Amino acid sequence: MLRPLFAATVTLIAPALTAVETRWWTHKQYADYERARSDRVSLASDGTVTLAPAVRLLLDSSSTYLWALAEDRQGNLYAAGGGPGASGARIHVITPAGEPRVLAELDALEVHALAFDPQGRLYAATSPDGRVYRISPDGRVETYYDPKAKYIWDIVFDREGRLYVATGDRGEIHRVLPGGAGSLFYKLSDTHARSLAVDGQGHLLVGTEPGGLILRIDPKGEGFVLFQAPRREITAVAIGPGGAIYAAGVGLKQPVAPAPPPAPAPAPAPQPSPLPTTLSPQQQARPQPAPAPLAPLTTVAAQITGGSEIYRIDPDGFPRKVWSHPQEIVYAIAFDSQGRPLLATGNKGTVYRVDSPYAWTALVTLPSTQVTRLLAGRGGAIYAATGNIGQVYRIGPELEPEGSVESEPLDAGMFSYWGRLKWRGAANGGQILISTRSGNLERPQQDWSPYSDAIRGSSGLVSSPPARFLQWRAVLRAGPDGRSPELRAVEIAWRQRNVAPQVSQIEVAPANYRVPPPSLSLTASQTLTLPPIGQRPRPSTPAAGADSASLTLNYAPGFRTVRWAATDENGDELIYRVEIRGVRESEWKLLRDKVREKHLSWDTTAFADGEYVIRVIASDEPDNSVGEALTAELVSEPFLIDNTGPEIVRLEAAMEQGGIRLRFRTRDAASTISLAECSINGGDWLPLNPIDRIADSSDEDYDVLLPATGGREFAVAVRVTDEYDNQTVAKTLVVRAAAGVP
């Protein structure tokens, strides 16, 4: 049995699909590549794909994390770290010939910073139980300075050979003179001094946590806050070309909670743990912590919310944000040979390049989870240290000879045809080769078609077989001069195979109701709404039909309304032909053609009483080419048209027992009697019950004794209504006999 469409409130949802028409699958913005698979290519923020700098693994260490990099005058590269699962803090050296070895092992958990003094001697700082060590070229280790601090996060030398030590837990910066004598140089208002740099004037630059401050401290120890970042921690500060300061801020600041009331015997309050440490607050609260394994770095990064921001502070002190990312965590900043900032991030192991305050490039993605440190080396090479797993890579300056990008599969929703593939870009003496494959499984598997031959030129027909899913792959090859091709956009035309619509339900509303006529607007719209800049307009969808919401009808005697539910798998706009036929007739008569709504009201008074059926024919003609339109139809259950009132026969009225005895019979040719009423001398209409007490048939008898008060003449009117609101009225006159007259 069909569920009624005309309930008190009926909601039918129309599909949010577009019509069967040529559509374009486009990749030309960065967001279009979010789920693409890239190999040895860089992706700019404007969506341009180029070959990435060549990446070469230099060191695969036994350390879980490598935190620090440094290069000496002979071109030897030093990397240091530690972490859980390793044999403590280690310093590795990689010769210019690419030969790695362990230079030294320290009595600590991790090395967090390396630095060379003006004489070329190597220093390393450890955490926790922070100390600064000096390491000789043959690997001998001696304690150089002990700041009596839990953490040392960074160290840096100035031009006079003075060493600055950034500590955590008490927010102290120590200065160590060339002879090794050191003392407290500056006391922060924050808990941790997280990052250090020295500018061209010999000023110390400090990034802090948890206040997110960037300070400048002169050699006399006078401090000045250059910028208070909206982020909790400044993980890196660096001096760019021209003296501009770049700083990385990560983590959202937490609101300050009200202090709890003092307890009689409070326990030592744990200190906040800065990033990238993973010690628990309980471990940090211990006054003399023994080295203990740190939690994986991925655990720490997962606790950071809000991503990262990069700030540039101009030489005149003006700060501005030049880059941000809602998820990536920036650990370090370096500069390429052209002075552009490079950002080491996690948790996807990506190195970004800031090209301008409005443009950036995802340069390379390394196999390790986090890139923890970057170092600009000789000849334009960039060195990267990583965590989870502790490795060292050389990036560039030469480009990869070949790279590729593979799109996420297009889900066309159903069986579809593929048209022309077009790409825009510049080969620059190299090659851009784009091929496609298709299938009917959600993810590309062995049962997809193989990749086709590459499209010749910048435009060509897709040769992959029609299917539901499509994928493309672009291979970029450098030219003889090593220049990279530039792929700026890929567009593929496609169209769903047309499927016939479906009319799933028809119901006729109660009699004598119609849809109110629409209000007319004689003025065309003079406005056009564009989407936010940078976003594409969404494909238009067919307007929701009458089956997408409840339908309000107005009372209108003689009218009937029919409503239907229809869908199209392609999302095509539908038009309808509505026909009517008596159940005993053989031919359909047109009620209305080219109906775009999913309902129709019509005047039934021109039709003879009797049973009829409605046929609704749906066509997807508006959105299909000539000869390709498809139709579907459905016939309603029979319904009754009845515009004739009941008949009143044998109406009799006489005085009896001081009242009026009223008798009559009523009958209706098509429908049931629903109500009988009477009125005396124009008074209120009074309902009457039939002799059998229930009005439930088309033939009813009435016998009622009515009260008769005052006067001698009584005008009696009878009104009978059938279930289709058709009424009949009959009248008679009753005279009371005079007193004494028999």
pLDDT digits (tens, 9 = 90+) for 8-58: 322 223 334 445 678 999 999 999 998 999 999 999 999 999 999 999 999
The CATH architecture one would assign to domain 23-38+402-496 is Sandwich (2.60)
Domain boundaries, the chain: 23-38+402-496, 71-254+271-286+294-341, 502-517+544-641, 647-735
Q: Are 81 and 405 in contact (CB under 8 A)?
A: no
Does residue 576 surpass a pLDDT of 90? yes
**CATH of the domain spanning 502-517+544-641:** 2.60.40.10
Structure tokens at 156: 């840096």
Does residue 450 surpass a pLDDT of 80? yes
Mean pLDDT of 396-412: 95
Residue range 479-492, pLDDT digits in tens: 999 999 999 999 99
Residue type, 741: V
**CATH of the domain spanning 647-735:** 2.60.40.650
- Give the 3-state secondary structure of 422-457: EEEEECCCCEEEEEEEEECCCCCCCCCCCCCCCCCC
Q: Are 494 and 419 in contact (CB under 8 A)?
A: yes
- Give the 3-state secondary structure of 384-433: EEEECCCEEEEEEEEECCEEEEECCCEEEEEEEEEEEEEEEEECCCCEEE
Place of tokens 């000849």: 379
Does residue 174 surpass a pLDDT of 80? yes
0.75 exceeded by the pTM?
no
Does 647-735 match 502-517+544-641 at the fold level? Answer: yes
71-254+271-286+294-341: CATH class: mainly beta
Characterize the bridge pairing of strands 163-168 and 172-176.
antiparallel
Residue range 595-630, pLDDT digits in tens: 999 999 999 999 999 999 999 999 988 888 888 889
- For the chain, give the percent of residues with pLDDT over 90: 73
How is the beta sheet containing 231-239 ordered, strand by strand?
Answer: 231-239, 245-252, 308-313, 319-325
